[in-house]
């Protein structure tokens, strides 16, 4: 058994980190320090391994057999291009989170006992290790074990942060939803392993080769259901905006930025690799389902994000949106994928867009969650209506948060724009190729993506403006200080990545070569998209190519900004004077600042059909209606998925159990009769074995 | 593929648009004044305003952050950079590729985003109100604009504006199909919204009932305000140039000769003037819409754009 030094190094780092929880016996701080240092080493090792696979000479997958733990299955790891790319995504955010984490935990919960610190260190390292080895899994059992490890570790992290009931409820909902998804995955995997008689992916692939179309699709949709639950696709997203904000902020960054991507990895692995037919295209229904789910998630995710006033909850809803954008690319790649030349190019662009958005979202969402964490640990507030004025008190955090906000709103010259541009180009290419109803469907998806971008910009003007600008609305915000340097360093690393991926996306295309070529068996991403050199992205679906050169644009913007700066200084250094903001003659206070609720109100009314907003105003008047002593306002919007699906299911179950309760008399023999009847019915239906 | 517009020409076009911007505003104001039977200020008045502002000192709200002073700089830079994407003197793709129609819309959106962020900085209610309204209208306008771009791009197979313009001049009005007319109609509905004019916004007042864009500028002063105003003039002419590139023919002459250059410039100015006249006429003949009527107004554009797309693809 040959042992690959790279993978063992990652395992050793995270293993050391997990074991360092034992140091908490002597000192919680020591455990925290050693554990996070080990995690950082593991993340850097992950970066090294993945870059080595992605940029190194093309070779067959890096494989490694693991010790035999189970008599019925051999565990193994196999790292191909796709695995390596997702390990890269995980390691990028893990690096930032591991730098950021210790200072955050010390500042946010200084009174945490060593037991809690030990739990957090253990769960954190297990979480990271499980995610990395899930993407490297070479067989179904390793995959499922890591999947479960990831879920359990993140659950522990969600409930570990505070000891209030809300975290526990969020954790419970997360657990129930995650296990529902796992059950679907189990069915899909077990159906395959039963046919293959083995657990390793190569045998599963071979066994899937002679499935008929209906079974293949059933298995795909089962797996899709499982992964979509984890990815937080609408309408399976209800756990996400509760669980993600409840975790410590650097863990939120990992859950939103990375854990959801693991589900994307699963969809890609199942759709393009394990279940893909040996010859011919994928079943069209797969791609269209993914595209529809993606489009719905993108629009609804951002619409609900817009009405959130809890900073971390808002960011969590944006994860739903961005997963939707990634799925648009994945779905289009599934529809377009053919083994011929034209289909291969279109599918490559679509998949490259999805994969690029995967790392882009990891970078900017990680950055934004870490920024929100800095605000949280300095003010202990997540509600934006109580914040404000932080840009003067926390300039670094504010600047980096603004950078992330521009990136997530898909504005040039940062990375969010590039991947959305690629998605648009892929959608347009699809519209030109499909024509007919299919083409129209693709274009409507493109229009929805445009709407998503616009709404995201509106949402982040609100999030940034209300949190960081204006006057502080509470003493907590007024006395905020800048976050410690190590937290800023964690954010700066992700911020630098947002800029680099935005300005030089052509170089990032090289990272996408191995996964796109490996999955689609066609030309790599850089052969299709950087045909004109690494400085220019170009997509050609018609006679003319469409080109985008981010480096030239960045240089142009810098030059223009420099000139505008000189012009603004004026020809003769005119004086600068400071004065209070004009508030119609009243003395300015924080109550003149626009609130988040007020900011989002016009859009709340425009999209009232989706929000079903409710508001209640109670006025205490002094005799005449013109003199109000006190006004109390409450308003809320509903999540349609929650009210229309989950609450109805819940009501039905409650009603059914009420009905049953009237029948339950408490007499044992009645129950025995029920059980017997149920058994008889089951036997009648399923008991007829093969004759 | 070699481009037809060298980089120097692209930079020249960009500067030309920036210099032309205030003049277009001046002309629209003049036409409006004459339609109201007023003499009106001269067409060069916007230049005089800018020159005055750039000489003045700055009064800044004491609650603003360090960000506030750099907002006008970046807004202006982003808007002017968007101008580099508009084909002015002739069609065809640029020699040094820069970007396409989506980048143009993205840069304008960046400028709007930063303006709205700046508006919230001073902590006055007017800035917040303007930002909130602007960011309500923008997400409704942008997708429809994109759909109009798509409806022409699907036919041409590219979203590069120069190539689209060249494609358009090859087949003008006589070759137009229903989809083109509908797309143009959608564009005409959106144009006042994108340039911030009646019936969506009113650039002439600072009343809180009407203001969207102007509300966001209230706290800027001196050279900063000058940058913001220059940016909004540029934005207007860039939008008009964008419409012209999508729907009106570009000069077929080669740009190499001085004559071709002049004809291209004259043709561009003529196209801009036609669109400016349209804006002035609309602004003089309609009243500002109540804010919550604006989505319905934009829905007209949406229906046109969707039909254009459907006709093009089906």
In-domain check, residue A464: yes
Residue A597 forms contact with B (CB below 8 Å): no
Please give the structure tokens belonging to residue A323. 């997963």
Please give the structure tokens belonging to residue A673. 């009769």
A3 band by pLDDT with thresholds 50, 70 and 90: low
Q: Which residues of chain A have a CB within 8 Å of the CB of B219?
A: 581
Please give the structure tokens belonging to residue A223. 């797996």
Q: CA B275 to CA B90: how far, in whole Å? A: 18
Nearest CA distance, A449 vs chain B (angstrom):
8
In-domain check, residue A480: yes
Residue B120 forms contact with A (CB below 8 Å): yes
When comparing pLDDT for A448 and B163, which is higher?
Answer: A448
| Domain with A366 in it | 281-541
Among A468-477, A617-626, B111-120, name the one with the lowest average pLDDT.
A617-626
Query: Considering chain A, what percentage of its residues have pLDDT values greater than 70?
Result: 97
Residue B127 forms contact with A (CB below 8 Å): yes
A543 band by pLDDT with thresholds 50, 70 and 90: low
In-domain check, residue A576: no
Q: Is B37 helix (H, G, I), strand (E, B) or coil?
A: coil
Please give the structure tokens belonging to residue B189. 């509905």
On whether both A532 and A673 belong to a single domain, the answer is: no
pLDDT tens digit sequence for A571-600: 667 788 898 888 888 888 888 888 999 999
In-domain check, residue A577: no
Angle at B154 between CA B148 and CA B158, to 5 degrees: 100
> If we measure between CA atoms, which residue out of B201, B198, B226, B227 comes closest to residue B215?
B201
pLDDT tens digit sequence for A211-223: 888 999 999 999 9
Residue A538 forms contact with B (CB below 8 Å): yes
Angle between helices A260-268 and A341-379 (to 10 degrees): 170
Tell me if B147 and A443 make a contact (CB, 8 A cut-off): yes
The pLDDT mean for chain B works out to 89
On whether both A534 and A666 belong to a single domain, the answer is: no
Among A117-131, A195-209, B255-269, name the one with the lowest average pLDDT.
B255-269
Tell me if B131 and A461 make a contact (CB, 8 A cut-off): yes
User: Among all residues of chain B, which has the CA nearest to that of A394?
Assistant: B65
Number of A/B CB contacts below 8 angstroms equals 305
Provide mean pLDDT across the span A629-649: 86
Tell me if B54 and A578 make a contact (CB, 8 A cut-off): no
* B178 contacts B170 by C-beta, under 8 angstroms: no
Tell me if A602 and B146 make a contact (CB, 8 A cut-off): no
Q: Which residues of chain A have a CB within 8 Å of the CB of B123?
A: 388-389, 469-471, 581, 588, 590, 592-593
Most B CBs within 10 Å: which of A419, A544, A613, as the mutation test of the B interface? A544
User: Has residue B256 got a pLDDT over 80?
Assistant: no
| HEC secondary structure over A318-380 | HHHHHHHHHHHHHHHHHHHCCCCHHHHHHHHHHHHHHHHHHHHHHHHHHHHHHHHHHHHHHHC
Nearest CA distance, B166 vs chain A (angstrom):
11
Among A327-341, A459-473, A497-511, A540-554, name the one with the lowest average pLDDT.
A540-554
Question: Which residues, listed in sequence order, are joined to residue A630 by a DSSP beta bridge?
Answer: A620
Q: Which residues of chain A have a CB within 8 Å of the CB of B93?
A: 544, 547
Domain boundary (A513, A541, A569) is at A541
User: Among all residues of chain A, which has the CA nearest to that of B313?
Assistant: A435
Tell me if B132 and A602 make a contact (CB, 8 A cut-off): yes
On whether both A322 and A450 belong to a single domain, the answer is: yes
On whether both A434 and A294 belong to a single domain, the answer is: yes
Tell me if A411 and B156 make a contact (CB, 8 A cut-off): no
> If we measure between CA atoms, which residue out of A37, A3, A2 comes closest to residue A17?
A37
- Predicted pLDDT at B255: 53
Identity of the residue in A425, A440, A542 whose CB atom sits nearest the CB atom of B310: A440
Residue B221 forms contact with A (CB below 8 Å): no
CA distances for B309 relative to A108, A442, B153, B239, angstroms: 53, 11, 10, 21
Identity of the residue in B76, B133, B144 whose CB atom sits nearest the CB atom of A564: B76
Identity of the residue in A392, A457, A577 whose CB atom sits nearest the CB atom of B65: A392
Most A CBs within 10 Å: which of B83, B97, B207, B311, as the mutation test of the A interface? B97
pLDDT tens digit sequence for A254-281: 999 999 999 999 999 999 989 988 877 8
Please state the domain extents for chain B.
Answer: 7-313
Tell me if B135 and A458 make a contact (CB, 8 A cut-off): yes
The pLDDT mean for chain A works out to 90
The CB density around residue B45, as the number of other CB atoms within 10 Å, is: 15
Q: Which residues of chain B have a CB within 8 Å of the CB of A574?
A: 55-58, 222-223
- Predicted pLDDT at B2: 46
Identity of the residue in A570, A571, A581 whose CB atom sits nearest the CB atom of B63: A581
pLDDT tens digit sequence for A46-70: 999 999 889 887 766 677 888 777 8
> How many domains is chain A built from?
2
Provide mean pLDDT across the span A160-164: 74
The ipTM (two decimal places) reads 0.95
Identity of the residue in B128, B141, B218 whose CB atom sits nearest the CB atom of A593: B128
Q: Which residues of chain A have a CB within 8 Å of the CB of B161?
A: none
Q: Which residues of chain A have a CB within 8 Å of the CB of B111?
A: none
Tell me if B314 and A437 make a contact (CB, 8 A cut-off): yes
In-domain check, residue A144: no
Nearest CA distance, A482 vs chain B (angstrom):
14
Residue A428 forms contact with B (CB below 8 Å): yes
Looking up tokens 């863990």 gives A251
Nearest CA distance, A556 vs chain B (angstrom):
7
On whether both A529 and A650 belong to a single domain, the answer is: no
User: Helices (DSSP H) in A59-200: which residue ranges?
Assistant: 81-108, 114-136, 140-160, 165-196
- Predicted pLDDT at A69: 78
Most A CBs within 10 Å: which of B113, B137, B190, B295, as the mutation test of the A interface? B113
Identity of the residue in A544, A568, A572 whose CB atom sits nearest the CB atom of B93: A544
Residue A298 forms contact with B (CB below 8 Å): no
Q: Which residues of chain B have a CB within 8 Å of the CB of A568?
A: 69, 72-73, 223-224, 226-227
Identity of the residue in A439, A458, A592 whose CB atom sits nearest the CB atom of B125: A592
User: Has residue B1 got a pLDDT over 50?
Assistant: no
Residue A553 forms contact with B (CB below 8 Å): yes
Most A CBs within 10 Å: which of B19, B110, B117, B123, as the mutation test of the A interface? B123
Question: Which residues, listed in sequence order, are joined to residue A76 by a DSSP beta bridge?
Answer: A65
Question: Which residues, listed in sequence order, are joined to residue A139 by a DSSP beta bridge?
Answer: A200
Domain boundary (A515, A541, A567) is at A541
pLDDT tens digit sequence for A294-349: 999 999 999 999 999 999 999 999 999 999 999 999 999 999 888 676 678 889 99
Tell me if A470 and B59 make a contact (CB, 8 A cut-off): no
Residue B204 gets which letter from DSSP? T
Nearest CA distance, B94 vs chain A (angstrom):
10
Identity of the residue in B117, B227, B313 whose CB atom sits nearest the CB atom of A435: B313
Residue B62 forms contact with A (CB below 8 Å): yes
- Predicted pLDDT at B124: 83
When comparing pLDDT for B201 and A357, which is higher?
Answer: A357
User: Among all residues of chain A, which has the CA nearest to that of B112?
Assistant: A457
Tell me if A564 and B77 make a contact (CB, 8 A cut-off): yes
- Predicted pLDDT at B28: 95
Beta-carbon contacts of A631 under 8 Å, excluding residues fewer than 6 positions away, are: A617, A618, A619, A620
Tell me if A576 and B55 make a contact (CB, 8 A cut-off): no
Domain boundary (A526, A541, A556) is at A541
Tell me if A583 and B124 make a contact (CB, 8 A cut-off): yes
- Predicted pLDDT at A1: 41
* B163 contacts B285 by C-beta, under 8 angstroms: no
Question: Which residues, listed in sequence order, are joined to residue A93 by a DSSP beta bridge?
Answer: none
């Amino acid at each position: 058994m040959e042992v690959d030094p790279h993978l063992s190094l990652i395992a050793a780092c995270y293993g050391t980190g997990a074991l360092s929880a034992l140091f908490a016996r002597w000192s919680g701080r020591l455990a925290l320090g050693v554990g996070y240092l080990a995690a950082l080493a593991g993340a850097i090792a992950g970066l090294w391994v993945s870059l080595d696979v992605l940029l190194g000479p093309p070779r067959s997958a890096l494989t490694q057999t693991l010790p035999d733990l189970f008599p019925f299955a051999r565990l193994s790891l196999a790292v191909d291009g796709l695995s390596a790319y997702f390990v890269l995504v995980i390691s990028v955010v893990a690096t930032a989170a591991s730098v950021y984490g210790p200072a955050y935990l010390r500042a946010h919960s200084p009174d945490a006992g060593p037991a809690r610190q030990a739990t957090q260190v253990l769960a954190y390292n297990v979480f990271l290790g499980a995610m990395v080895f899930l993407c490297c899994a070479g067989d179904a059992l390793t995959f499922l074990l890591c999947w479960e490890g990831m879920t359990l570790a993140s659950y522990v992290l969600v409930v570990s942060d505070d000891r209030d009931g809300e975290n526990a409820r969020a954790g419970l909902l997360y657990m129930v939803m995650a296990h529902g998804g796992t059950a679907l995955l189990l069915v899909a995997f077990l159906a395959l392993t039963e046919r293959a008689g083995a657990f390793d992916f190569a045998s599963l692939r071979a066994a899937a080769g002679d499935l008929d179309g209906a079974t293949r699709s059933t298995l795909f949709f089962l797996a899709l259901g499982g992964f979509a639950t984890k990815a937080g696709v609408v309408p399976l997203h209800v756990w996400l905006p509760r669980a993600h904000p409840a975790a410590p902020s650097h863990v939120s960054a990992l859950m939103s930025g990375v854990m959801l991507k693991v589900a994307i990895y699963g969809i890609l692995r199942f759709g393009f690799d394990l279940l893909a037919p040996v010859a011919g295209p994928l079943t069209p229904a797969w791609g269209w389902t993914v595209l529809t789910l993606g489009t719905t998630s993108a629009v609804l995710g951002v619409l609900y994000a817009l009405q959130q006033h809890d900073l971390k909850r808002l960011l969590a809803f944006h994860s739903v949106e961005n997963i939707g954008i990634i799925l648009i690319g994945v779905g289009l790649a599934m529809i377009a994928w053919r083994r011929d030349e034209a289909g291969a190019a279109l599918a490559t662009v679509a998949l490259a867009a999805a994969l690029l958005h995967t790392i882009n979202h990891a970078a900017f969402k990680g950055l934004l969650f870490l920024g929100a964490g800095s605000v949280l640990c300095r003010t202990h507030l997540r509600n934006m209506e109580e914040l404000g004025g932080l840009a003067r008190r926390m300039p670094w955090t504010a600047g980096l948060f603004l950078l992330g906000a521009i990136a997530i709103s898909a504005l040039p010259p940062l990375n969010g724009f590039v991947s959305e541009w690629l998605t648009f180009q892929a959608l347009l290419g699809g519209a030109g190729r499909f024509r007919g109803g299919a083409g129209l469907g693709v274009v409507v998806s493109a229009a929805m993506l445009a709407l998503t971008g616009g709404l995201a910009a509106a949402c982040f003007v609100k999030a940034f403006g209300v949190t960081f600008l204006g006057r502080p609305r509470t003493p907590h915000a007024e006395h905020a200080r800048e976050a410690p340097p190590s937290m800023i360093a964690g954010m700066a690393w992700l911020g630098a990545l947002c800029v680099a991926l935005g300005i030089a996306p052509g170089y990032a295309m090289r990272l996408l070569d191995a996964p796109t070529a490996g999955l689609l068996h066609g030309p790599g991403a850089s052969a299709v998209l950087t045909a004109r050199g690494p400085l220019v992205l170009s997509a050609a679906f018609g006679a003319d190519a469409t080109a985008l050169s981010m480096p030239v644009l960045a240089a142009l913007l810098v030059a223009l900004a420099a000139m505008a700066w000189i012009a603004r200084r004026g020809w003769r250094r005119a004086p600068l004077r400071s004065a209070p903001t004009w508030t119609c003659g009243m003395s300015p206070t924080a109550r003149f600042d626009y609130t988040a609720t007020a900011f989002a109100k016009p859009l709340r009314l425009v999209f009232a059909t989706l929000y079903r907003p409710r508001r209640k105003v109670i006025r205490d008047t002094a005799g005449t209606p013109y003199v109000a002593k006190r006004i109390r306002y409450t308003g809320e919007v509903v999540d349609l998925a929650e009210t229309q699906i989950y609450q109805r299911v819940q009501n039905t179950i409650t009603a059914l159990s009420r009905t049953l309760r009237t029948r339950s008399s408490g007499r044992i023999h009645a129950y025995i009769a029920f059980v017997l009847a149920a058994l008889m019915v089951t036997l009648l239906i399923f008991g007829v074995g093969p004759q | 593929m070699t481009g037809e517009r060298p980089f120097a020409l692209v930079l020249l076009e960009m500067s030309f648009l920036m210099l032309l911007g205030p003049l277009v505003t001046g002309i629209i104001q003049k036409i409006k004044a004459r339609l109201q039977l007023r003499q009106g200020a001269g067409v060069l008045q916007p230049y005089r305003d800018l020159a005055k502002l750039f000489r003045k000192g700055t009064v800044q709200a004491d609650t603003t952050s360090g960000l506030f002073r750099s907002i006008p700089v970046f807004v202006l830079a982003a808007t002017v950079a968007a101008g580099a994407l508009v084909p002015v003197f002739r069609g065809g793709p640029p020699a040094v590729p820069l970007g396409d129609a989506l980048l143009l819309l993205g840069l304008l959106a960046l400028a709007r985003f930063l303006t709205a962020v700046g508006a919230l900085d001073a902590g006055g209610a007017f800035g917040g109100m303007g930002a909130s309204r602007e960011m309500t209208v923008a997400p409704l306008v942008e997708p429809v604009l994109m759909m109009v771009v798509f409806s022409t791009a699907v036919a041409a197979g590219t979203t590069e504006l120069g190539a689209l313009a060249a494609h358009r001049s090859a087949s003008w009005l006589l070759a137009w199909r229903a989809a083109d007319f509908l797309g143009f109609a959608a564009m005409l509905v959106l144009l006042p919204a994108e340039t911030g004019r009646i019936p969506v916004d009113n650039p002439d007042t600072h009343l809180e009932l009407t203001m969207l864009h102007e509300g966001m500028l209230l706290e800027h002063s001196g050279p900063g305000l000058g940058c913001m105003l220059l940016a909004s003039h540029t934005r207007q002419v860039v939008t008009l140039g964008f419409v012209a590139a999508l729907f009106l023919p570009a000069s077929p002459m080669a740009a190499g000769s001085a004559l071709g250059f002049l004809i291209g410039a004259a043709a561009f100015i003529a196209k801009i003037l036609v669109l400016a006249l349209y804006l002035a006429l609309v602004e003089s003949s309609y009243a500002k819409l109540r804010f919550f009527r604006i989505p319905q107004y934009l829905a007209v554009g949406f229906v046109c754009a969707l039909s254009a797309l459907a006709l093009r693809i089906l």
